[in-house]
Amino acid sequence: MKNILTSLILAVLAAVLSGCATTGADTPQEKRQAILAMKDNTLADLYRLRPEAKAKIAAAPGYAVFSNANINVILASFSGGRGVVVNNASGKNKFMKMGEAGIGLGIGVKDFRAVFVFHDRTTMDRFLNTGWEFGGHADAAAKAGDKGGALGGELLLDGITVYQLTQSGLALQATVKGTKYWKDDELN
């Protein structure tokens, strides 16, 4: 029974992480367009839910938007995704990938978007060039499309305001995790 459960967990993990590792597009140009469309849709959702975020993003040196799929299995949490960092001064985009692993209590699967607003240029450059983030995370989500709800919201840490918007999923988690963001060589 334990082997069957382990195999099922690994299959679900592979399916979710492979789904978020690709945009469903084939060429680098199609992938970039899919990420930019995700960014625009996420910002529209954020501005609808948090109108004050629009002014914060416009006044910032830059911001990032990531699409992420997360799996929690009892004591472990895994996720991966893609996104883009936008330099407001130059208008240039840097496409990035992300991966995350954590330990703690939790169970479930969710698809969410994260918007990072950089408070200064140094913080944005450090994110682009180093990309590591460590911290704790707790949330609850039960959402499918416009149905259901999720607790998440706004968080301020180390010169970055982070907004999280859950697209869909069912999860309850409290984890300590490490996240790595890195430039996507294929898309830049």
Structural domain for 98, as ranges: 2-183
pLDDT level of residue 126 (50, 70, 90 thresholds): very high
Considering the domain boundaries, does residue 132 fall inside one? yes
Domain assignment present for residue 116? The answer is yes
Q: Count up the domains in the chain and report the number.
A: 1
CA atoms of 82 and 113, how far apart (whole Å): 10
> Is 188 contained in some domain?
no
Query: Could you tell me which of 63, 30, 68, 23 has the C-alpha nearest to residue 47?
Result: 63
Domain membership flag for residue 80: yes
Reduce the DSSP state of residue 150 to 3 states and report it.
strand
pLDDT digit string (tens) for 74-107? 677 777 899 999 999 999 999 999 987 777 666 6
Q: Which run of H or E residues covers position 149?
A: strand 147-151
Q: Is residue 167 included in any domain, yes or no?
A: yes
